[in-house]
Amino acid sequence: MVVSFGEDGEVLDVVGDIDWFVAGDDTRQDIYKRLQDLREGWDGTPDIIPAMLLSQDRYADIHIVAEQDSRHFVLLDATGLMQALRRNQQASNEAALLEDRRRREIRKSAPNASPHPHPLRQFRRSSELFAELIDSARAPMAQLAGHARLLQQRCKNDPAALRSIAAIQHAAVRLDALSTNGLIGLGELTAGTRNLGIVDPSQLAALLQETFALQAQAQGIGFEVRVPEGENLIEIDTLALRQILINLIIHALEGIEAGRLVVSLSAAAQGLEIEIACEPSGFSADHFGPLVTTADLLQSNAGGSLGLAVSQQLLQQMRAMVELVSRRGGGHEVWIRFPLDRVAGAEGELRVLESSLPAALLNGEKVAVVAVEPAQRASGVAALLVDLGVPVVPVQDIERIEALVRDGALGALVLSSPFAGSNGREILKRLELPAETSVMLLTPADEVPGRTGWMRDRNCVRVACDADRDTLHAALRSVLAG
Amino acid sequence: MSVSLSRKISLLGDFAVGKTSTVARSVRNTFSEAYLTSVGVKVDTKTLPDAEGRDLRLVLWDIAGASSLDQMRANYIGGSQGLLLIADGTRADTVDTVLALRDQAVRLLGRDLPAVLILNKCDLAGEWEVPPERLRELAQRLPVFSASARTGQGVEEAFAALASAVADAPAGSKSP
């Protein structure tokens, strides 16, 4: 986004959503004042200021472009990246402080002891190198993107210039994505619950529109991001979500020659759903195919799209479901569902997402049966079900399950394989459960492909028997919600 | 109250010496016991009277701590008119680090500029590592203040000294 100030410091123009950078107790005026303060100083104050904390937990790379009677502050959001970097630095600094403290204690208790080795220095060094890598790459990209944005404003009526500007801007977007993809590919950044932040889908849609509309226009195609009106705020790994979307849209733009690229975002009861569609023809199956046909693109798809591979890794880390859906008119579209635990209301307060568990289970008309060995694992699963408000019946023999099925009381079954000396699949075959019954099968880990620890096939979820609590919880929520 | 002067001040120091806490104490009179690493840069302002009674506005660039000025940090200090150097009195090596940072900043800017040194965490007397003779030696080179962002002791005195030092220095002109 761009904020332009006149010679006397008055705001002349704001292009983009300044409210994204307004957080905590700050107001828009505070942000404008902070930007103005950047001009103070001796001749030669910097015109590129990477990673400035503009408001509480809101970072921007800032590029200041001066003209005769005005100054333009181009802000590129760096919040997600800087928050990830801060977590990394925090761990590194705490480790260094701890090592320092130990060294002092040793020195106090044994003043003549030989110098303490520095086992954590290597860790700290790599962390600093990581930080430098990010910082070094971002400043020139901010410069590139900033100039492109300003030129775009000035050349609104020059189609040829706009095409060039679109190419420059898209190159900057791709370089930015590449830098983050590299870090994710190297394992320096991961997605997960520790990175949770609040996302406003309409703000996200505006960002995507701003990032890709010009390039789409230059390619001669339409670009639209759809968000239902009044959509809830959601709690999710913001950096990972944005990186996935940027990667997939870049990839989508490479696979479309005509028509319209439509990205739809909606927070449904079971999670955040995203559709990426090419209208009217759809994408060819092989364009996004590797996302669903290959278990680990980063390992097995050398020479393929890094953006696609990194997106797949992030999607797996976020336990998202991904499908390539056939369109009636031909071609395919990508469908993704991210599980969400909580959404935020208009006031920003978080509430637990109402999962659409079957009413028959929640009102006790039916029960969930836990037929799991060993007993400790069974009690862990039962506790998770109780947390979800589902009545649980633990059983030790197959006959008891059969009795509950006969009575029509079995709504969900969590079964370990083996159980009572029998193979889980054989038990399921013998039980002949109604199609609507939810089943979770705990199997040896090598029978569950991918890295999410669970996989779903219609109303049955297979989970690794040694899965952690979070994985079991995610799998249970998925299968019970239908 | 009209502001007649403004000065850009860069805060330099190793990580976890208390730069952000010192600014928070001085600007907002707050302190948090939790250590939260800074990344990038944060800009705050503090207005105080100079020796001649004029209002002096200090624009404080709180730069993420490090033992040297890399390319990004070198970029931040451009145009600085004063330095607030902060070290942790319970980690003697951070004094050497911040002095080296000052030398590096002076080299990068190509000019000398006023500086004040705060030895933070003076409330932790039991862990203090900077001996009196070292303090005396430092005081001969630049204004030095033992201070505590936690209690507030010495913080305002250090800022007043800095204000006095930068107010007298040439202002230069604003960047174009």
CA angle A305, A310, A315 (to 5 degrees): 125
B6, B38, B91 ranked by CB distance to A40: nearest: B6
Assess if residue B175 is contained within a domain: no
**What is the sign, positive or negative, of the torsion defined by CA atoms of A30, A35, A38, A43?**
negative
| Per-residue model confidence (pLDDT) at position B21 | 97
Which residue, A48, A51, A122, is CA-closest to A84?
A51
**pLDDT beneath 50: ranges in chain A:** 115-117, 119-120, 123, 354-355
Assess if residue B80 is contained within a domain: yes
B15, B81, B174 ranked by CB distance to A39: nearest: B174
Chain A residues close to B43, C-beta within 8 Å:
34, 37-38, 52
Is B80 close to A37, i.e. CB distance below 8 A? no
A23 touches chain B (CB under 8 A): no
Q: CA of A302: how far to CAs of A132, A221, A285, A308, in Å?
A: 27, 30, 20, 12
| Per-residue model confidence (pLDDT) at position A344 | 59
Is A41 close to B8, i.e. CB distance below 8 A? yes
A38, A52, A97 ranked by CB distance to B16: nearest: A97
| Per-residue model confidence (pLDDT) at position B81 | 94
| B17, B19, B39, best to mutate vs chain A, most A CBs in 10 Å | B39
**pLDDT, chain B, mean:** 90
Assess if residue B104 is contained within a domain: yes
| Closest A-chain CA to B43 | A34
Q: Domains plus CATH for chain A?
A: 1-107+122-134 (3.30.450), 155-344 (3.30.565.10), 359-481 (3.40.50.2300)
Strand partners of residue B60: B9, B44
User: Tens digit of pLDDT for each residue in B116-164?
Assistant: 999 999 999 888 999 989 999 999 999 999 999 999 999 999 999 999 9
Is B175 close to A39, i.e. CB distance below 8 A? yes
Q: CA of B112: how far to CAs of A315, B54, B86, B109, in Å?
A: 52, 24, 18, 8
Which residue, B69, B76, B68, B57, is CA-closest to B10?
B76
Is B72 close to A94, i.e. CB distance below 8 A? no
Is B175 close to A41, i.e. CB distance below 8 A? yes
Phi, psi of B45 (to 5 degrees): -130, 150
| A21, A40, A72, best to mutate vs chain B, most B CBs in 10 Å | A40
Host H or E run for residue A381: helix A375-387
Assess if residue B46 is contained within a domain: yes
Q: How many CB atoms lie within 10 A of CB B165?
A: 20
Q: Does residue B3 carry a pLDDT above 60?
A: no
A94 touches chain B (CB under 8 A): yes
Which residue, A1, A175, A198, is CA-closest to A83?
A198
A86, A97, A135 ranked by CB distance to B72: nearest: A135
Maximum Cα–Cα distance across chain B? 50
Is A86 close to B37, i.e. CB distance below 8 A? yes
Chain B residues within 8 A (CB-CB) of chain A? 6-8, 15-16, 35-43, 45, 57, 59, 64, 66, 70-72, 75-76, 78-81, 91, 171-176
Q: Does residue B20 carry a pLDDT above 60?
A: yes
Phi-psi domain of A41 (left: phi exceeds 0; alpha: psi -120 through 50; beta: other): left
Residue pair A135/A81 in contact by the 8 Å Cβ criterion: no
Residue pair A246/A211 in contact by the 8 Å Cβ criterion: yes
Is B6 close to A34, i.e. CB distance below 8 A? no
- Give the whole-angstrom CA distance, residue A242 versus residue A321: 17
Question: What is the domain-level CATH number for residue B94?
Answer: 3.40.50.300
Residue pair B157/B143 in contact by the 8 Å Cβ criterion: no
- Give the whole-angstrom CA distance, residue A123 versus residue A126: 5
Is A48 close to B176, i.e. CB distance below 8 A? no
- Helix axes A79-109 and A121-154, enclosed angle (nearest 10): 160
| Per-residue model confidence (pLDDT) at position B63 | 96
- The total of structural domains in chain B comes to 1
Amino acid sitting at position A388? L
Is B173 close to A49, i.e. CB distance below 8 A? no
pTM for the structure as a whole = 0.59
A57 touches chain B (CB under 8 A): no
Contact partners, residue A56, CB within 8 Å, separation at least 6: A23, A24, A25, A26
| Per-residue model confidence (pLDDT) at position A134 | 62
Is B8 close to A48, i.e. CB distance below 8 A? no
Chain B residues close to A93, C-beta within 8 Å:
15-16, 35, 37
Chain B residues close to A86, C-beta within 8 Å:
36-39
Phi, psi of A174 (to 5 degrees): -70, -40
| Per-residue model confidence (pLDDT) at position A384 | 85
Is B39 close to A42, i.e. CB distance below 8 A? no
Is B174 close to A45, i.e. CB distance below 8 A? yes
To the nearest whole Å, the CA of B9 is away from the closest chain A CA by 8
Provide the pairing of β-strand A367-371 with A392-394: parallel
Assess if residue B174 is contained within a domain: no
| Per-residue model confidence (pLDDT) at position B1 | 45
Is B78 close to A94, i.e. CB distance below 8 A? no
To the nearest whole Å, the CA of A34 is away from the closest chain B CA by 7
Residue pair B115/B103 in contact by the 8 Å Cβ criterion: no
Assess if residue B84 is contained within a domain: yes
| B14, B62, B72, B130, best to mutate vs chain A, most A CBs in 10 Å | B72
> Which pLDDT band holds residue B174 (cuts at 50, 70, 90)?
very low
Is A131 close to B39, i.e. CB distance below 8 A? yes
Instruction: Give the domain range for residue B57.
Output: 5-168
Assess if residue B85 is contained within a domain: yes
A40 touches chain B (CB under 8 A): yes
Is A46 close to B173, i.e. CB distance below 8 A? no
To the nearest whole Å, the CA of A50 is away from the closest chain B CA by 7
A131 touches chain B (CB under 8 A): yes
| Per-residue model confidence (pLDDT) at position B176 | 38
Report percent pLDDT > 90 for chain B. Answer: 75
A444 touches chain B (CB under 8 A): no
B35, B43, B79 ranked by CB distance to A42: nearest: B79
Chain B residues close to A85, C-beta within 8 Å:
39
A38 touches chain B (CB under 8 A): yes
To the nearest whole Å, the CA of A345 is away from the closest chain B CA by 28
| Per-residue model confidence (pLDDT) at position B175 | 38
| Per-residue model confidence (pLDDT) at position A252 | 95
Assess if residue B89 is contained within a domain: yes
